[in-house]
Chain A
Amino acid sequence: MSEYRIQGNTGEWEVVIGLEVHAQITSESKLFSGSSTGFGAEPNSHVSLVDAAMPGMLPVPNRECLRQAVRTGMAINAQINRWSRFDRKNYFYADLPQGYQISQLYHPIVGEGEIEVTLNEKDPDSPTKKIGIERIHVEQDAGKLMHDQHPTMSFVDLNRSGVALMEIVSRPDIGSPQEAGAYLKKLRSILRYVGSCDGNMEQGSMRADVNVSVRKPGGELGTRTETKNVNSIRFMMQAIEYEAQRQVDLIESGGAVVQETRLFDPNKMETRSMRSKEDAHDYRYFPDPDLLPVELDDAFLEECRASLPELPDAKRTRYEALGLTAYNAAVLTAEAETAFWFEDLLAEGVDAKQASNWLMSELFGALNKLGKTLDESPVNPKQAAELLGLVADGTISGSIAKQVFEIMLETKQGASAIVEEKGLKQTNDTGAIEAEIAKIMAANEDKVTEYRSGKDKLFGFFVGQTMKAMQGKANPGVVNQLLKAKLG
Chain B
Amino acid sequence: MMRLELIKRPQRSMLFSALSPFIAFMLTIVAGAILFALLGVNPLKAFEIYFIEPVSQVWQLHELAIKAAPLILIGVGLSVCYRANIWNIGAEGQFILGGIVGSIIPVLFPQFEGPLVLPLMLLFGMVGGAAYAAIPALLKTRFNTNEILTSLMLVYVAQLFLDWLVRGPWRDPKGFNFPQTIQFNDSAILPELMPASGRANWGFVFALVAAVLVWILMSRMLKGFEVRVLGSSPRAGRFAGFGINRMVFFAFMLSGALAGLAGISEVSGAIGQLQPVISPGYGFTAIIVAFLGRLNPLGIVAAGLVLALTYLGGEAVQSALGISDKVARVFQGMLLFFVLGCDTLIHYRIRLIGFATPKLEAAPKLEEAR
- The reply to whether chain A is a binding partner of chain B is no
A binding-site residues for B, Cβ under 8 Å: none
